[in-house]
Amino acid sequence: MKIAITSTGQGLESMVDPRFGRSPYLIYIDPESLEFEAVDNPGALAGGGAGIATAQAIAGKGVETVLTGNCGPNAFRVLSAAGIKVVTGVSGKIKDVIQDYNDGKYTASTQPNVPGHFGLGGGGPGRGKGPGWK
């Protein structure tokens, strides 16, 4: 069995990155043996479609479950179509998250938990064309 975790770094002491598509790294790990591979997230610097690019990369790795802080609708759809379970609301050190996963403390999400483009950190009310724009 293999799971994928969005990560701020390349080791088990790193923190789970709350952004799915824009996390800098993905950690693919066997939760039983703790053998893992940390890779650069191909979607992290994408101009658009970061969540989809990340989901497609994960789908090609034989992953059964994804652990992340947040997952938007497009990425969730791609992962679900590939038969991959998505667990959102995950935070903390990767090594602790793996232990919690092995202890059965997580439940797969049934829907995305954030709107599209969430990881960009902007775009909400009050953003964009301010006073004086013509």
pLDDT of residue 118: 54
Show me where the domains of the chain are located.
Answer: 3-118
Kindly tell me the sign of the dihedral angle through the C-alpha atoms of 39, 22, 63, 70. Answer: positive
pLDDT of residue 122: 44
Residue at 38: amino acid letter: A
pLDDT of residue 123: 38
CATH superfamily label, 3-118: Dinitrogenase iron-molybdenum cofactor biosynthesis domain (3.30.420.130)
How many CB atoms sit inside 10 A of residue 95's CB?
A: 13
What are the φ/ψ torsions at residue 15 (nearest 5 degrees)?
A: -95, 150
pLDDT of residue 46: 83
CB 15 within 8 A of CB 92: yes
Mean pLDDT, contiguous 10-residue spans, the chain (134 residues): 96 96 96 96 88 94 95 94 96 97 94 64 39 40
Looking up tokens 């034989």, which residue turns up? 62
Q: How far is Cα of residue 106 from the mean position of the Cα atoms in its chain?
A: 15
How many CB atoms sit inside 10 A of residue 34's CB?
A: 11
pLDDT of residue 76: 94
